Amino acid sequence: MPRIISKTVYQIDEHPNKSAVFEWIRNNWYDLGYFALEDATESLKLFAKYIGATVDYRLYIVPDRGEFVSFKFSSVPSLGHVMTYLDLSGNCPFTGCSYDEVILDSFRVASSNATTDLEEVLRDVEYRVLKVMHLEGEYIYSDEGLFDCCDVNGYEFYESGEIA
């Protein structure tokens, strides 16, 4: 007769060894930052289209992997020309996600500092997008971020840390 081994299942808030859960997740769930990457990519694409440019990029949720963002124009406009098309009042005008505001922040700073160099502002867009994305990645894979993800989604885990 087969022996039945009972395995207790825990929600993250009651799990006796949360670090085992976090370790298991980090070793098995590689796409937790996927939606952040998608949001950033879509904001950059629609922003580029909005200002009459194309965008080339390589993005990762984890820093130091050769990420970059660059904008190409068939004819480079002036910063003033681009600013006439942008609504800096907010409301995430490109995709509706927060990366729209990250992009616009570069133009808000430029307008308050009387910057006139479009290339400088676009380098700031790259810097800000990558910085916010990497901060989001740090949070997503932190113990706090993993706890929040598990808690909000109601995931259950065995005592070993594996998902039930």
**pLDDT the model gives residue 138:** 94
Q: Does the residue 4 lie in any domain?
A: no
d(CA 25, CA 41): 25
d(CA 45, CA 50): 9
**pLDDT the model gives residue 24:** 95
Output the CA–CA distances (angstroms, integers) from residue 150 to 19, 46, 52, in the order listed: 13, 32, 41
Instruction: Give residue-wise pLDDT tens across range 7-22.
Output: 899 999 999 999 999 9
Q: Are residues 21 and 47 in the same domain?
A: no
Average pLDDT over residues 20-31: 94
- Total domain count, the chain: 2
Nearest one of 120, 87, 88, 103 to 41, comparing CA atoms: 103
Q: Does the residue 61 lie in any domain?
A: yes
Q: Does the residue 3 lie in any domain?
A: no
Q: Are residues 18 and 97 in the same domain?
A: no
Q: Are residues 42 and 112 in the same domain?
A: yes
- Beta-strand (E) ranges in the chain? 9-11, 54-58, 68-72, 156-158
Q: Are residues 64 and 89 in the same domain?
A: yes
**pLDDT the model gives residue 2:** 65
Output the CA–CA distances (angstroms, integers) from residue 118 to 51, 59, 78, 92, 106, in the order listed: 11, 22, 6, 21, 10
pTM, full prediction: 0.86
**Tokens 């370790």 belong to residue:** 23
Q: Are residues 70 and 148 in the same domain?
A: no
Average pLDDT over residues 66-85: 90
Query: What domain range is 21 assigned to?
Result: 9-31+142-158
Average pLDDT over residues 124-147: 96
Question: Bridge-partner residues for 11, per DSSP?
Answer: 156
Q: Are residues 40 and 58 in the same domain?
A: yes
Report the run of H or E that residue 126 belongs to, with start and end.
Answer: helix 118-140
Average pLDDT over residues 11-34: 94
Helix 118-140 to helix 34-50 angle, to the nearest 10 degrees?
Answer: 160
d(CA 89, CA 9): 49
